[in-house]
Amino acid sequence: MSVNTIAINQRLNRFDGHEEIWLFGYGSLIWKVDFPYLERRPARIHGWVRRFWQGSHDHRGTAEAPGRVATLIAEPNAICAGMAYRIAPAVFDHLDMREKNGYLREVVGIEFKSGETVDGLIYIAGPENEAFLGHASDAEIAAQIARSRGPSGLNRDYLTHLADALRDMGEQDAHVFAIERHLNAGLAI
């Protein structure tokens, strides 16, 4: 699969004919909301964990020195907290460009704090995409993040903004917070 997934996502017809769609954000879509939305609500999805296993060649790194950003990895009984946005389908023109580095739209069940559930979409960068970096220790991920920079800025800013947003939501994410601790310890040296 090509790293650039814009054309693939534009061919997907999930939710065609809908005037609005729920989108679940679990990474920068929590804190970098550069798109219009009709409603925003804290939410979670089941069976997925957030991992910094996706390479960023276009935003938080370069082709020669990719950064690391969040993707989702299937894990039974897991829960991933994030933010859901009710959006108009036209917003996908912008989002497909933003998430073009290996991310594909997938249908997911989204659960709100009220217990209400809806079907919506997420962007997932799976292991089959060319930008996927896969598992590494929290310390190795932090070291890569510390030295990475791309057109959207420092990779460490992505991590710290996500960690802060999760704390603001009252959510825990052991993976994100462990990487943040390693990053902060390395910067203090």
Q: What is the DSSP string of 104-139?
A: EEEEEEEEETTS-EEEEEEEE--TTSTTB-----HH
160: which 2 tokens?
A: 């710290």
Residue 189's pLDDT band, with cuts at 50, 70 and 90, is very low
Give the pairing type, strands 117-124 and 104-112. antiparallel
Rg of the chain, C-alpha, whole Å: 16
40: which 2 tokens?
A: 């925003």
Q: What is the pLDDT of residue 137?
A: 97
Question: CA 162 → CA 52, 78, 87, distances in Å?
Answer: 11, 19, 21
25: which 2 tokens?
A: 């954000």
d(C-alpha 181, C-alpha 138), whole Å: 9
Residue 2's pLDDT band, with cuts at 50, 70 and 90, is very low
45: which 2 tokens?
A: 């999805």
Domains with residue ranges and CATH for the chain? 6-188 (3.10.490.10)
CB crowding 134-156: b at 16 or more within 10 Å, else e? eebebeebbbbbbebebebebbb
Q: What percent of the chain has pLDDT over 70?
A: 90
- Please state the rounded mean pLDDT for residues 47-74: 95
Q: What is the pLDDT of residue 11?
A: 64
Give the pairing type, strands 104-112 and 149-150. unpaired
Let me know if 99 is a catalytic residue: yes
* pLDDT surpassing 50 at residue 22: yes
3-state secondary structure of 33: coil
Question: What letter represents residue 11's amino acid?
Answer: R
Residue range 147-177, pLDDT digits in tens:
999 999 999 999 999 999 999 999 999 999 9
Question: What letter represents residue 123's amino acid?
Answer: Y
Question: What letter represents residue 101's amino acid?
Answer: N
Q: What is the pLDDT of residue 29?
A: 96
Ranges 30-39, 56-65, 138-147: which has the least confidence: 56-65
d(C-alpha 175, C-alpha 145), whole Å: 14
Tell me the HSE value of 61 on the side-chain side, using a 13 A CA sphere: 21
Active-site annotation holder among 99, 130, 171, 180: 99
Q: What is the pLDDT of residue 186?
A: 83
Residue 101's pLDDT band, with cuts at 50, 70 and 90, is confident
